[in-house]
Amino acid sequence: MADDALELQDITVTFRSREAGEQAYTAVADTSLKVRGGEFVSVVGPTGCGKSTLLNIAAGLLQPSAGDVRVFGQPLRGINHRAGYMFQSEALMPWRSAIENVMVGLEYRGLAAAQAREQARAWLERVGLRGFEQRYPHQLSGGMRKRTALAQTLALDPDIILMDEPFSALDIQTRQLMENEVLALWAAKRKAVLFITHDLDEAIAMSDRVVVLSAGPATHPIGEFEIDLPRPRDVAEIRSHPRFLELHGRIWGVLRDEVLKGYAQQLKKAA
Ligand SMILES: Nc1ncnc2c1ncn2[C@@H]1O[C@H](COP(=O)(O)OP(=O)(O)OP(=O)(O)O)[C@@H](O)[C@H]1O
């Protein structure tokens, strides 16, 4: 459909080991997933189930073994240039100041240095980093580095935002502040968001829809839930809303067994 920003159709991903004798591993099997324009969709699933793999497919960083990816109705070939990507790990360049980190993508896009600097400054201000433009990543707190990375992603004005557990390394208060800021920025621009997390509370608090993945191998969606909580939301306050608790109970009912299977598999792998 034309109003789908991102569509994964029957995606299968099989990793083949280079070492002879090792078996191929099918991480994801027959997975279909859509994100409509302006929709905030979270994907939750047990550890190691294939969440990052799916995001890499959506970003065009990884080619599926089978299946198709469509971006605003067009087949994706190579990198998804309509998408911005925010990783779990730090992606800032340590030798560049905060403003230079935000500028780099804009300059790469062809903006003159002065213009790129101006836009980067405005974005740093929007994410609460006015006065910190000249600091280097090691001179910023973990939360500030995340804010810089967020400014870096949003400055490019992507139509689709892909986020892979972006706040998992933060303490709970900073995390909730950042989640609220992301929601406020998202509400202003209404981009399509695909958000990966293993935290069900975070997924429900942020999203319009939550997709639950099975444990691997051959991970696939096993449940999909519309999150009809009122907006604007405060991620801390919404957790005590009766509807939140009801949705949490229903989704956890589907997720719980997969989490247990996921743990068992990790232990088996480690043995
Ligand atoms: N390049 C690769 N080669 C072989 N196996 C891989 C590769 N990348 C991922 N895998 C395997 O595929 C499965 C899914 O990995 P993925 O990182 O997508 O999971 P995840 O759900 O994002 O994990 P986590 O919750 O720990 O972040 C894992 O079992 C992983 O070991």
Q: What is the pLDDT of residues 139-178, one digit of tens each?
A: 998 889 988 998 999 899 999 999 999 888 788 888 898 8
> What pTM was computed for the model?
0.92
pLDDT confidence band for 224 (50 / 70 / 90): very high
Q: In the structure encoding, which two tokens stand for residue 250, read together? A: 């229903």
Going from the Cα of 144 to the center of ligand 1, the distance in angstroms, rounded, reads 28
Task: Determine if ligand 1 sits within 6 Å of the CB of residue 27.
Answer: yes
Measured distance CA(138)–CA(98) in Å, rounded: 10
Tokens 């969709």 identify what position?
41
- The ipTM value here is 0.95
Residue nearest to atom 29 of ligand 1 (CA): 48
Residue 60's closest CA among 45, 50, 51, 71? Answer: 71
Domains of the chain: 4-82+160-270 (3.40.50.300), 91-157 (no CATH)
Atom number in ligand 1 closest to CA 88: 27
pLDDT level of residue 38 (50, 70, 90 thresholds): very high
User: Which residue type sits at 113?
Assistant: A
Measured by CA distance, the residue closest to atom 2 of ligand 1 is 15
What mean pLDDT comes out for the span 67-80? 96
The Cα–Cα gap between 66 and 139 comes to: 44
The tally of CA atoms less than 13 A away on the side-chain side of residue 168 is: 16
Beta-bridged to residue 70, according to DSSP, are 7, 75
